[in-house]
Amino acid sequence: MTEALALEHLREWIGRTEQTQDDLSPWTANAMAALLRNAQRPRPAGHALPALWHWSYFLPTVPQDGLGIDGHPARGGFLPPVPLPRRMWAGSQLEFFAPLRTGEPSRKTSTVTDVALKEGKAGALVFVKVQHEIHDAAGTLLLREAQDIVYREAARPGEPPAPVQAPPTEPAWSVEHQCDPTLLFRYGALTFNAHRIHYDLPYATRVEGYEGLVVHGPLVATLMLEAAQRLNPGLTVSAFRFRAVRPLICNRRLIVRGCTTQADGTATLWAEDGQGALLQQASVTFSQNE
């Protein structure tokens, strides 16, 4: 099958949808608070979820025999059967219209909106874009997210690491984290993420070619936004976007940084490792609490 015919086949998945219901358990929010904020204060039903905590809800419960070799659900169901072995969450663009609240039944509708083939320095790349919309029981749109997933070829022996990109500017603030295996385990458990690069060291290094276990990209993005929210009390996140640049390896320092929030409510955020390599770039838009 030629690349053109293969892409034509993969693009048949454009428009495919799936729906997931979730009652937004307060326990999950309490567990995420313990993980991200070292907080043990119970969050009762009706509590507004902080931005990005929806990633621990609406989780696919794929049977064990429905997983692929990498731990992800086997391809060809909702997502197209891209034959490239390495998969990465490359970024998301989110709009927040109203808060999700614990204990209130909600519905997520996911739609494959695009499949594109590109040629990179390390070989073929397939980009799959998925749109997620979350509505409450009354049908009110609470959140919209456009998620970018990229599939890459297998690591090649002796392949050099991606070039280091410099941070975008001087930060106004910085917050440091140590991302150890315990943090990865707990976040993976809360998001039901079985991708083996996050817990299976031989697989991560020998099969996918990483230097060690990989810290979850959404976890890095969440820690960025958590820091920005703490430094902007009284403001609500109305939009957030992030783009992954390179992975963070477990047991290395994570430093999240940001600029001063502008008069229009926007701020630039980014994440670096301990050697100053850029990991993610992001922007946030805040609005006044009503």
CATH of the domain at 109: 3.10.129.10
Q: Same structural domain for residues 167 and 234?
A: yes
Whether the Cβ atoms of residue 246 and residue 162 lie closer than 8 Å to each other: yes
Last residue of a domain, one of 108, 132, 154: 154
Task: Quote the pTM value.
Answer: 0.93
Give pLDDT tens digits for 189-207: 999 999 999 999 999 999 9
Mean pLDDT of 146-155: 91
Task: Report the domain count for the chain.
Answer: 2
Q: How many of the other CB atoms lie within 10 Å of CB of 157?
A: 5
Q: Are residues 30 and 147 in the same domain?
A: yes
Where does 93-180 have alpha helices with state H?
none
Share of the chain above pLDDT 70, in %: 96
Domain boundary among 129, 154, 179: 154
What average pLDDT does the chain have? 92
Last residue of a domain, one of 132, 154, 176: 154
Residue 137 shares a structural domain with residue 183: no
* Domain identity same for 288 and 271: yes
Q: Which of 150, 137, 193 is nearest to 23 (CA)?
A: 137
| Same domain (yes/no): 230, 140 | no
Residue 42 has pLDDT above 80, yes or no: no
Are 143 and 168 members of one domain? Answer: no
**Under DSSP, is residue 61 helix (H, G, I), strand (E, B) or coil?**
coil
Helix axes 181-190, 26-37, angle to 10 degrees: 160
Range of the domain at 20: 1-154
